[in-house]
Amino acid sequence: MISGSSSKAPRAEIRTPFDKETQEVLVHRLRHLARQAAERLDLLPLGPLWAFVGYDRAELLAHLERRHLQGCLICGSELDERPVICHIDPLGAAVDGASLQRVMALENFGFGHDSCNRRLGARSLS
Ligand SMILES: [Zn+2]
């Protein structure tokens, strides 16, 4: 596979319904995003992820499957095989624990094309 534009590790292919591996990747990604934001806000240790975000693994995966079928959150088109998790109100908008919980809420994120998400940058979709 040739990918000239990204220096990051290749992202996982994501198809609906999610297979076991995809589920692990997505849970890991969410955990990583939460940790990163919490670290920036000096909120670590965050404690158990599900207690912090207020939903569980099954709810997260069901939500993401629905969102995946709805297409790109930004342009509305069908997703490609390697979408990114994309927030309506950006994670960067969080300034404390309560606002981080708000931007981590299920209704605040779905999938987007990597290119759309890059174009949007840190701006809000709402
Ligand atoms: Zn898009």
Pairing mode, if any, of strands 84-87 and 109-112? antiparallel
Q: What's the distance, CA 3 to chain centroid? A: 22
Amino acid at 10: P
pLDDT of 44 strictly over 90: yes
Cα 88 to Cα 121: distance, rounded to the nearest angstrom: 11
User: What is the 95 CA–ligand 1 centroid distance (Å)?
Assistant: 27
pLDDT digits (tens, 9 = 90+) for 47-71: 999 999 999 999 999 999 999 999 9
Boundaries of every domain in the chain = 20-120
pLDDT digits (tens, 9 = 90+) for 14-31: 999 999 999 999 999 999
User: What is the 76 CA–ligand 1 centroid distance (Å)?
Assistant: 6
**What's the pLDDT band for 8 if we cut at 50, 70, 90?**
low
pLDDT of 5 strictly over 60: no
Contact 37, 122 (CB under 8 A): no
pLDDT digits (tens, 9 = 90+) for 95-114: 999 999 999 999 999 999 99
* Residues with Cβ within 8 Å of residue 71, at least 6 apart in sequence: 77, 78, 79, 111
Rg (CA), the chain: 14
User: What is the 117 CA–ligand 1 centroid distance (Å)?
Assistant: 7
